[in-house]
Amino acid sequence: MLKKIYEDPNIFQIDVPLPDNPLRNLNCYIIQDNGETLIIDTGFNRPECEEALLAGLAELDADWEKTDMFLTHLHSDHTGLAPTVMGDKPGKIYISAKDHDILGQHKDGSRWDKADELYYQEGFTKEQLAELRISNPARGLAPAKYFDAEHVADGDCIKVGKWNFECVYVPGHTPGQMCLYCREKKIMFTADHILFDITPNITHWSEAEDSLGDYLDSLVKIRGYEMETAFPAHRKNEMDVYVRIGQIIEHHLVRLCETVEALASQPDTHATDIAAHLKWSMRGKTWAEFPLSQRWFAVGETMAHLDYLIVRGMAQKTEGERNSYRLLLSAEECKTRLSEIWNTYR
């Protein structure tokens, strides 16, 4: 479904379905001016996404000689169709160098082998990891092939007709995630950095010592921009973007305190056991009933919160066949320190 959502610059939205995924949809945005077109993100590499995306683009009758693509970050629901749509076209694909490099590691398989090794250390069984090689959408619905791209960095501008769109580097959700900002109109395409009715997944990354800390710093950074309109990558925006930033920050304080309590009640255990004792939105399901791919994402997020505590001297990790974590301070001391740190984000 294609709809026009902004006038001057002309901005359209294609609702790309994400079947069998709790995200439900990908908001593909199209900017057009003076015969030029910029596509923002694509959806998974699967037929339902391709059909919706190509149908919307056909309605716009874009000139492929003057059409480029901007990928906000590496995840498959954002990049899956990039080579399919742009592979034989003359236009450029823009993405950060960090996320493009990780995509390359995904395609040669080396990164997934390392991820499996890590998740085994954090409590998954080999049978579960074998199943995830098939069922995890991050793997099975990725781009069909590696693609060339033009790398963009913080502050770089992409022109669409007379309009300038500024790349805003916001690491955290991925090491190289970018938002896109039109300063003249105070429009921010927030990608997965700010979502409005779900909380972005912040996971452990080998490239980042503290991805949650990076993410919170990026929220503070983007809060400094004047934003009158915020377009998220998934679902809707029906609230003030600055209020939402505050809510997300508070969510992670609560999650960190939950993590501290879990560590205090069961020291020397791995991230999967810790995640099982945290509060997740599972619609009445128990942890064991939660889909395996969603448990995989939840454990990744738990690792990110553990990393945050480790970097700040509140917890430690012991590596082995199964990793284990424990607090270095009492639970109350950790919570007091977290409250003090949290004042820097307010």
Delimiting residues of CATH 3.60.15.10 domain(s) in the chain: 2-116+137-240
333 phi and psi angles, rounded to 5 deg = -65, -40
Six-digit token string for 25: 């949809």
- Centroid of chain to Cα 211: 11
Mean pLDDT of 258-281: 95
- What whole-number percentage of the chain has pLDDT above 90? 84
Helix, strand, coil share of the chain (percent; to 5): 40, 20, 40
Count how many Cα atoms sit within 13 Å of the Cα of residue 216 in the half-sphere of its side chain: 20
pLDDT band at 22 (very low <50, low <70, confident <90, very high): confident
- SS3 at position 166: strand
pLDDT in tens, 50-64: 999 999 999 998 899
Q: Give the pLDDT score at 41.
A: 98
pLDDT in tens, 98-137: 999 999 988 777 788 899 999 999 999 999 999 998 888 8
Full-model pTM: 0.96
pLDDT band at 216 (very low <50, low <70, confident <90, very high): very high
How far, CA to CA in Å, does 153 sit from each of 113, 119, 175? 29, 31, 12
Delimiting residues of CATH 1.10.10.10 domain(s) in the chain: 247-339
CATH topology of domain 247-339: Arc Repressor Mutant, subunit A (1.10.10)
Q: Residues with Cβ < 8 Å from 337, sequence gap 6 or more?
A: 312, 314, 329
Q: Residues with Cβ < 8 Å from 212, sequence gap 6 or more?
A: 172, 202, 252, 304, 305, 307, 308
Single out the residue of 105, 111, 103 nearest to residue 42, CA to CA: 103
The answer to whether residues 168 and 178 touch, using CB atoms and an 8 Å cutoff, is: yes
Q: Give the pLDDT score at 174.
A: 98
Q: Give the pLDDT score at 107.
A: 78
The yes or no reply on domain 2-116+137-240 and CATH 3.30.420.40 is no
**Beta pairing class for 2-6 and 10-17:** antiparallel
Burial of 156: CB neighbours in 10 Å, binned 0-12, 13-18, 19+: middle
